[in-house]
Amino acid sequence: MIQRHNIDFVISDNRFGLWNRKTKSIYITHQINIKFPKVLSAFEYLAYLIHKAIIRRYGLCWIPDEETESNLSGELSHKYPLPSNAVFIGVMSRFLLKVNSKSNNPPYEIIVILSGPEPQRTILEEKILGQLQQLNKKSLVVRGKPGIKTTSNEWGRITKVSHLSPEDLKFHILHSDFVICRSGYSIIMDLVVLGKPALIIPTPGQTEQEYLGNYMNSRKLFICMEQGQLDIKKGLEKLKKLKSPTIKHNTTLLEKQLENLETVI
C-alpha cells in the first residue's frame, strides 16, 4: 500500500505494528510507561525498556501532553527518561479546532458520556440509568455507539442517544451542570481544554484509566469513583466544590513539528 500510493509519512496512534522502513514513521502515545496491575508492577520497568526500544524504530514519537508540571499523563510519560526521538506536542483535543458549540436541543443538567468495550460499557450504563432515575434531574446519556443509527429515546427525564456530533457534544458539555464519563485520556484532554470538571469512572481492569482517574483526583482536577462503588449523588456533591480544570497548553508545539517534518525525521 505504501509503494502503491507513494505514501510519505505513516502516523501511528498507539499502534506498535504500524511502521515501515520504506517510509517515514511517527508514533503517537501518551504512555511511554505502560502501567501494570499491582501484582505485576515488578515488570513495569522492563516493559518500559521494551517499549522504548520499539519507539526508537520510528522517526519521531509525539506525546500529546505538556512537558511542564501541569501535565495530564503523570507517570505515564514523566516517570522515566524519554526516548531520544520523543517530543511533547501539547494537549490535543477535537475541541481545539473551530467546532461551533450549537444544538437544536435545550441544555441538560447532567450529560453522561459512555465509551469503551463491552460488557463494561453496558454495565456502567445500567448502573448510571438506575441512579439518574432516583436523582430526577434532566439528563442526557450519550451511549457511545457510533456504529448505530442516531436515535433519541426519552426515559422519564432521561434522554438517550447513540452518539453526538462534535458540535452537539461540545454544546452539551459546556452548558450542562455536571459531566459523567470514563477516565480515558482523550476525554480528559477534551474536558480540560473546555475547562469542565467531571465525575470520572475508570473501566475496571484498565490500569491506564485507573491510574489516570486517581491522578486526576489527587490533583483535584476531577472527581474519581470506582464503578463498583459509584454513588452519583455523592459524586456530584463533591464535583460542586471543584474549580474548572485548567492547563497552559501550548498550541504551537504541534505546528512547529508539522512545519519541520521533513527535516526532523
Q: Do 154 and 75 share a domain, yes or no?
A: no
Q: Is residue 217 part of a domain?
A: yes
Q: Is residue 244 part of a domain?
A: no
- DSSP-assigned letters across all residues of 241-253: TPPPP-----THH
CATH of the domain at 203: 3.40.50.2000
Assess contact for 85 and 27: CB atoms under 8 A: no
Assess contact for 254 and 90: CB atoms under 8 A: yes
- In this prediction, residue 260 carries a pLDDT of 75
Q: Are strands 152-155 and 158-161 parallel, antiparallel or unpaired?
A: antiparallel
Q: Is residue 101 part of a domain?
A: no
Q: Do 87 and 129 share a domain, yes or no?
A: no
The residue segments making up the domain with residue 34 are 2-91+249-264
Q: Is residue 172 part of a domain?
A: yes
Q: Do 60 and 164 share a domain, yes or no?
A: no
Q: Do 86 and 176 share a domain, yes or no?
A: no
Q: Do 54 and 160 share a domain, yes or no?
A: no
- In this prediction, residue 223 carries a pLDDT of 98
Distances (CA, A) of 179 to 62, 99, 110, 222: 29, 19, 6, 10
Q: Do 208 and 187 share a domain, yes or no?
A: yes
User: 252-260: which pairs have CB atoms within 8 A and are 24 or more residues apart?
Assistant: 252/90, 253/87, 253/88, 253/89, 253/90, 254/62, 254/89, 254/90, 254/92, 257/60, 257/62, 257/87, 257/89
Q: Do 154 and 186 share a domain, yes or no?
A: yes
**Residue 247: φ, ψ to 5°:** -150, 140
Q: Do 203 and 123 share a domain, yes or no?
A: yes
- pLDDT tens over the chain, length 265 residues: 666 766 677 888 877 766 666 677 899 999 999 999 989 999 999 999 999 999 999 989 999 999 988 899 999 999 999 999 999 999 999 887 665 666 666 789 999 999 999 999 999 999 999 999 999 899 999 999 876 655 566 778 999 999 999 999 999 999 999 999 999 999 999 999 999 999 999 999 999 999 999 999 999 999 999 999 999 999 999 999 998 887 766 778 888 887 777 665 5
Q: Do 147 and 226 share a domain, yes or no?
A: yes
Q: Cα separation of 83 and 96, whole Å?
A: 27
The answer, as to whether pTM is greater than 0.75, is: yes
Domain count, the chain: 2
Q: Are strands 199-201 and 139-142 parallel, antiparallel or unpaired?
A: unpaired
Q: Is residue 81 part of a domain?
A: yes
Q: Do 214 and 123 share a domain, yes or no?
A: yes
Q: Which residue matches cell numbers 513539528?
A: 257
User: What's the length of the chain?
Assistant: 265
- Residues linked to residue 60 through DSSP beta bridges, in sequence order: 26
Q: Is residue 105 part of a domain?
A: no
Q: Do 122 and 157 share a domain, yes or no?
A: yes
- In this prediction, residue 9 carries a pLDDT of 77
Q: Left (φ > 0), alpha (ψ -120 to 50) or beta: where does 65 sit? A: beta
Closest of 148, 132, 149 to residue 140, by C-alpha? 132
Q: Do 46 and 23 share a domain, yes or no?
A: yes
